[in-house]
Structure 1
Amino acid sequence: MSGIDAGELDTLWAEFRGVVNMTSHELSAWLRTAGGDPGRTHGRGVLAILRKRRIDLTAEDVRLMREVLATVRSATATGGAGAGVGERRYRLMSLGHDPLR
């Protein structure tokens, strides 16, 4: 199991599923086209999480979920004009978040 209490896990799961707004199919297709993007490693982890049931999450999954939430929130908070365009968008999409949605 993940090492956190059920209530905290429920909250984390809901927040993660809200921020990761690409389906597992969309993310998988994106990761195949993303080339050597360093975000692909985390993206593959996000993809694995999307394919799991909440009860099957590991401590490593929980750590990655928290990291993805922090990264996406930070990037969207500092986005500014044209925030959904170019390299920034592609980096976020490698984590399963399309800022244009």
Structure 2
Amino acid sequence: MATSIVDDVLWENFHTVVNMTSRELRDWLAVQGAGEETEELPDQAGPHLGHRVLEILGKRRSDLNPDDVDVMRRVVDKVASQRRDDLEPTAGDDRWRRRLMNIGHDPLKPPRD
């Protein structure tokens, strides 16, 4: 049995703050990459950090590497710094919501039970 380099707390926190499914995040990043002047390739649209979150969502816990763990910590810290602890749905500035959604957190979605 392979062991994981991700502790239980980080694993749970990451999957709590990343409340968008991989499909929702992929679709969101594709929409975000579309602009009036240019349209990026769907697989390349959106910020790098969002794509890293997608990669992590597609991996088994035992397959994560130290870079993945760093990304998970960054995402958890970023969401925690911009949200209340209870993660209850919160409306806010559109740019704020877009920044959070770029890393897989929709502030209008209710927290998972």
- Classify the TM-score, shorter chain: 0.7 to 0.9
Please show how residues 16-95 of structure 1 align to structure 2 within 5 Å. 16-35=14-33, 40-77=47-84, 83-95=91-103
Q: Secondary structure at the match of 2:103?
A: coil
The alpha-carbon deviation at position 11 of structure 1 amounts to 1.6
Change in 2 beyond 3 A, CA 1:2/1:57: farther
Given the two structures, how large is their TM-score scaled by the length of structure 1? Answer: 0.81
Q: CA RMSD in A?
A: 2.3
State percent identity of aligned pairs: 49
Large movers: runs of 4+ above 6 Å? none
The alpha-carbon deviation at position 2 of structure 1 amounts to 9.1
Count residues with an aligned counterpart. 92
Cα distance per residue 1:5-35 (max 9 Å; x no partner): xxx6222111100000000000000000112
CA contact (8 A) 2:18 2:104 kept: yes
Change in 2 beyond 3 A, CA 1:2/1:42: farther
Higher helix share: 1
Change in 2 beyond 3 A, CA 1:9/1:65: same
Structure 1: stretches of 5+ with no match in the other structure: none
* Match 2:105 to one of 93, 97, 100: 97
CA contact (8 A) 1:19 1:97 kept: yes
Larger Rg: 2
Structure 2: stretches of 5+ with no match in the other structure: 35-45, 85-89
CA contact (8 A) 2:4 2:61 kept: no
